[in-house]
A = this chain, B = another copy of it.
């Protein structure tokens, strides 16, 4: 079975993007993930262990505009409305669309040989959490309140207790915690 893994930045008030999907509060942060010093906050080591990335349509619409394309691993976009033909031509060898419930998708990816999947985007993370498909989460909290936006977390069926594994702090004020789930 493929396991899900989260590596995500969040504002102090729990948002992963502004209401329009914008990440300017993150990339504009002093010593934020785009810090010129080359600090990657453990991202390269994280992604090296992943066989691919599963994201929602909303996240894809934001990252599709990134130039250069930021991912060296295969990307699967979960969408019931999008088709493979809707993927911009330049990305067709890197991105494909899948439909289905989270567990079905993970089962299918497992049959393709995926052991670990990077799960990204608020709604996708929430639905995979509810289905017990997330094994661990690395949450990097920036010291800024943005007031509104797309939340990292949403409704749960009951309390979800996590296991705190480690916390690191960075000079720019980011607090990065790793949690095991379930």
Residues A129-166 near B (CB distance < 8 A) = 129, 139, 141, 143-148, 151-164
Q: Is A21 an interface residue (CB 8 A)?
A: no
Q: Is A7 an interface residue (CB 8 A)?
A: no
Cβ contact of A145, chosen from B146, B162, B175, cutoff 8 A:
B162
Residue in chain B with minimal CB distance to A164? B173
Cβ contact of A163, chosen from B148, B157, B173, cutoff 8 A:
B173
Q: Is A114 an interface residue (CB 8 A)?
A: no
List 9 additional contacts besides A147-B153, A147-B157; criterion CB under 8 Å: A25-B159, A129-B145, A141-B177, A143-B163, A143-B164, A145-B156, A148-B155, A164-B174, A167-B175
Chain A residues packing against B (C-beta within 8 Å): 12-14, 25, 129, 139, 141, 143-148, 151-164, 167, 169, 173-175, 177, 179
